[in-house]
Amino acid sequence: MKILVTGGAGFIGSNYVRYLLESTDDAVTVYDALTYAGNESTLAGLDELYAGRYRFVHANICDLGALTAALEGHDSVVHFAAESHVDRSIAGPEDFVVTNCVGTNAVLHASRTLGVSRVVHVSTDEVYGSVEEGESVETDPLDPRSPYSASKAGSDLIALSYFSTYQTPVTVTRSSNNFGPWQYPEKVIPLFATNLLDGRKVPLYGDGLNRRDWLHVRDNCAAIDLVLRKGQAGEIYNIGAGNELSNRDLTDRLLALAGAGEDMVRYVEDRLGHDRRYAVDSTKVRKLGWEPSADLDQALAATFAWYRDNRWWWEPLKGVR
């Protein structure tokens, strides 16, 4: 199969590209605009290791002409390209609406025009909004509460409308919080890990009791790939590992990995519209044959070790000198 991966230089996208190249014989084209959170260092060495199976196209997801040209001859698209940081969306929502909604429309338009056999649109559990009890299922109403999650909810609806209107074979995945290597160091786990590695305090929002389900990125990649190959067109698949932690608990685990104490925590004012809890029911994707494989504590330790051992990658991104 020949697969175009949009946003393939970002965190989840680059991990998915590595997953494909390591575990399949598929040919992969990465399509990425290389904004601040996407850079070619996340794909270092792939052109040499997988010569003939890997190609990179530097272009914007909203450029329909460039996207159509890059997509021609491909069987499938896995669409990661998105603006994804909540704090940035609060400070400046415009880029989120353009990239996430207009960009998704371009992907589906090009895919429909070229007759691509399958499109996977990668989304987030944040579109369901804060879930005080229980778990979100795929048929729950959407209740996004930040410009980021609202733009992702809009992109989900755009993608699914192409199935309803044109029968474009698109599926949607909604995953819980991912962590692992190559994650831009503004997100909580790499931010806290790299701060602690540099002897800097970690900024913990509010009372630290907001809760998230933590999913290792490799497990998410395996689930997305399964949906690509076995998922039913027009359907949504939640992906969650069942590793629910409060932010305070997560912080304590990272402090322990760093050998640091409570004095390294700096409580900061809670962000606007901070959802209290997310949790998804992943029964549907598990019925396809997926199960998370990563043990949370082992995966957190391995992730911390990765940032410890790969300063060459994250120090330039944080401006560390």
Q: Give the active site residue among 32, 126, 135, 213.
A: 126
Tell me the pTM.
0.95
148 is catalytic: yes
Tell me whether residue 200 is in a domain: no
* Segments forming the whole domain that contains residue 89: 2-183+215-242+274-294
184 is catalytic: no
**Which pairing describes strands 211-216 and 177-179: parallel, antiparallel, or unpaired?**
parallel
- Give me the number of domains the chain comprises: 1
Secondary structure, 3-state, the chain = CEEEEECCCCHHHHHHHHHHHHHCCCEEEEEECCCCCCCHHHHCCHHHHCCCCEEEEECCCCCHHHHHHHHCCCCEEEECCCCCCHHHHHHCCHHHHHHHHHHHHHHHHHHHHHCCCEEEEEEEHHHHCCCCCCCECCCCCCCCCCHHHHHHHHHHHHHHHHHHHHCCCEEEEEECEEECCCCCCCCHHHHHHHHHHCCCCEEEECCCCCEEEEEEHHHHHHHHHHHHHHCCCCCEEEECCCCEEEHHHHHHHHHHHHCCCHHHEEEECCCCCCCCECCECCHHHHCCCCCCCCCHHHHHHHHHHHHHHCHHHHHHHHCCC
Tell me whether residue 257 is in a domain: no
Tell me whether residue 201 is in a domain: no
For residue 40, give the CATH number of its domain: 3.40.50.720
Tell me whether residue 189 is in a domain: no
Predicted local confidence at residue 89, as pLDDT? 60
Q: Give the active site residue among 125, 156, 213, 275.
A: 125
Predicted local confidence at residue 321, as pLDDT? 42
Tell me whether residue 131 is in a domain: yes
Tell me whether residue 209 is in a domain: no
Predicted local confidence at residue 24, as pLDDT? 97
Tell me whether residue 235 is in a domain: yes
Q: Give the active site residue among 31, 148, 184, 278.
A: 148
87 is catalytic: no
Tell me whether residue 98 is in a domain: yes
- pLDDT tens digits for the chain (321 residues)? 999 999 999 999 999 999 999 999 999 999 999 987 788 899 999 999 999 999 999 999 999 999 999 999 999 999 999 876 666 766 667 788 888 999 999 999 999 999 999 999 999 999 999 998 999 999 999 999 888 899 999 999 999 999 999 999 999 999 999 999 999 998 999 999 999 999 999 999 888 889 999 999 999 999 999 999 999 999 999 999 999 999 999 999 999 999 999 999 999 987 676 778 999 999 999 999 999 999 999 999 999 999 999 999 999 998 754
